[in-house]
Amino acid sequence: MEFNRGITGGALVGIVALGTAGLILTEMMPAQIVLMMVTPSMLVFGLLCLVIGVKHGEYRTTAR
């Protein structure tokens, strides 16, 4: 499977959507808090991990 921006972005949004839905449906905390605080932080953390992962992959392919 070849990852491009569309597939990668869709996977990131899908994972965050599943996490958000799970938190809302299990009623661990009010939905307003999940949508206003948790979901944006999940997106930022996911993007940060994605960037670090891509840069590490680039390093691994050029370091040989």
Q: Where are the domains of the chain?
A: 29-63
Does this model's pTM top 0.95? My answer is no
Kindly write down the DSSP assignment for every residue of 4-58, as one continuous string.
-HHHHHHHHHHHHHHHHHHHHHHTSS-HHHIIIIIHHHHHHHHHHHHHHHHHHHH
In tens digits, what is the pLDDT along the chain, a chain of 64 residues? 688 889 999 999 999 999 999 999 999 999 999 999 999 999 999 999 999 999 998 998 997 6
Sign of CA dihedral 50, 39, 13, 23: positive
- Amino acid 1: pLDDT: 66
